[in-house]
Amino acid sequence: MGVRSWYDAHVLPRVIAMGCSSDDVAQLRREVVPLARGAVFELGCGGGFNQQLYDPAQISSFAGIDPNATLLEAARASAQATGLAADFRSGVGENIPFADGSFDTVVCTYTLCSVGDQARVLAELRRVLKPGGRLLYLEHGRAPDAGVVRWQGRIEPVWKRLAGNCHLTREIGAAIRGAGFEVEPIGQEYFAKAPRWAGWMEWGMARRAGA
**Domain range annotation of the chain:** 3-208
Provide CB contacts within 8 A for 30, sequence distance 6+: 53
DSSP code, position 162? H
Mean pLDDT to the nearest integer, 33-58: 95
Give CA–CA dist 7/1, Å, rounded.
10
Length of the chain: 211
Mean pLDDT to the nearest integer, 63-80: 93
Given a contact cutoff of 8 angstroms between Cβ atoms, the answer to whether 45 and 75 are in contact is: yes
Give CA–CA dist 18/28, Å, rounded.
15
CA nearest neighbour of 118 among 169, 191, 61, 67: 169
Write the CA distances from 101 to 63, 87, 92, 128, integer angstroms. 14, 17, 18, 4
pLDDT in tens, 155-170: 999 999 988 899 999 9
Give CA–CA dist 154/139, Å, rounded.
20
Given a contact cutoff of 8 angstroms between Cβ atoms, the answer to whether 134 and 205 are in contact is: yes
Q: What are phi and psi of 159, to 5 degrees?
A: -60, -40
Percent of the chain with pLDDT over 90: 77
Percent of the chain with pLDDT over 70: 91
Provide CB contacts within 8 A for 163, sequence distance 6+: 12, 15, 16, 19, 114
CATH topology of domain 3-208: Rossmann fold (3.40.50)
C-alpha 206: how far from chain center: 14
pLDDT reported for residue 84 = 84
Q: Does residue 9 register a pLDDT over 90?
A: no
Q: 3-state SS string over 8-39?
A: HHHHHHHHHHHHHCCHHHHHHHHCCHHHCCEE
Q: Does residue 17 register a pLDDT over 70?
A: no
> Which of the four pLDDT bands, split at 50, 70 and 90, describes residue 10?
low
Long-range residue pairs from 119-123, CB within 8 A, at least 24 positions apart, any chain = 119/175, 119/178, 119/179, 120/93, 120/94, 121/43, 121/93, 121/94, 122/175, 122/176, 122/178, 122/179, 122/181, 123/179, 123/180
